[in-house]
Amino acid sequence: MSTLEVLFHSLEEQGWAVSDTLVPRAWQQAMLAQSQQLWQDGHFHQAHIGRSASDSLNPNIRGDAICWIDPESQQGGQPFFAWMAQLRLLLNERYYLGLRSQEFHFARYEAGCGYRKHLDQHRNSGHRKISVVLYLNPQWDAADGGELCLYLPDNDMQETQRILPQPARLVVFRSDQIPHEVLPCAQTRWSLSGWLRSDEALV
């Protein structure tokens, strides 16, 4: 089976998949550099728990700062996004998911921060179908913590997997089904998070 076939197979079987080989290290390094530059230039803001302005800021629940990526920007021109658009078409051909757009943000968790257990699909909107996380950290050891913990779709007390945010590691999961959390990290943790959506792009 090709690497992509393996990814599709585990997504189908368990609702999530991890690959350490699909995304080249050069893409990860380029996006880390861009993300760090955007951080230095003050383009990140503290993440909200939901997407509307009324949703609260609570660093004990969600401790990351984020920077949304404009597809028309230099960052949006990274090859990763064109590749993800292709992957989106393949997922549609195979599973009739009706994916029509994608949205991504860089995320930065300071040491001590995490993100409590949640589902990515917002209660009032079912448009987020597939969650994608790419880890941008230049290196990461078990002692650095910050694992992504995945739980069973029908039992969010039953942990199924812990994933270290290692360089260029890609995680894909069903936004409506997989409860997950980010454990507190001991180092600054850089990532790219995104969603494949069934509605048109917001921007």
Ligand X SMILES: O=C(O)CCC(=O)C(=O)O
Residues near ligand X (CB under 6 A) are 107, 115, 120, 133, 148, 180, 182, 191, 193
Residue 2 CB, shortest distance to ligand X, in Å, is: 25
Question: Least CB distance from residue 176 to ligand X, whole Å?
Answer: 13
Site membership for Fe ion, residue 144 (CB under 5 A): no
Nearest of 169, 166, 130, 165 to residue 22 by alpha carbon: 169
Neighbours of 104 (CB within 10 A): 24
Give the DSSP letter of residue 145.
B
For residue 72, the minimal CB distance to ligand X (Å) is: 22
Chosen from ligand X, Fe ion, none, partner binding at 121 (C-beta under 5 to 8 Å by type): none
Question: 81 or 115: whose CB is closer to Fe ion?
Answer: 115
What's the min distance (Å) between Cβ of 150 and ligand X? 10
Q: Does 147 bind Fe ion (CB under 5 A)?
A: no
Report DSSP letters for 73-104, one per residue: STGGGSHHHHHHHHHHHHHHHHH-----EEEE
* Helix count and strand count (H, E) for the chain: 3, 11
Spatial contact of 136 and 191, defined as CB atoms under 8 Å apart:
yes
Would you count residue 120 as binding Fe ion (CB under 5 A)? yes
Considering only the stretches 35-43, 96-104, 118-126, 170-178, report the one whose residues sit in contact with Fe ion under the rule CB under 5 A.
Answer: 118-126
Structure tokens at 149: 């913990």
Q: Facing residues of 109 across strands?
A: 64, 189
The DSSP element (H or E) to which 194 belongs, if any, is strand 189-197
User: Which is nearer to ligand X, 1 or 135 (by Cβ)?
Assistant: 135
Partner from Fe ion, ligand X, none contacting 140, C-beta within 5 to 8 A by type = none
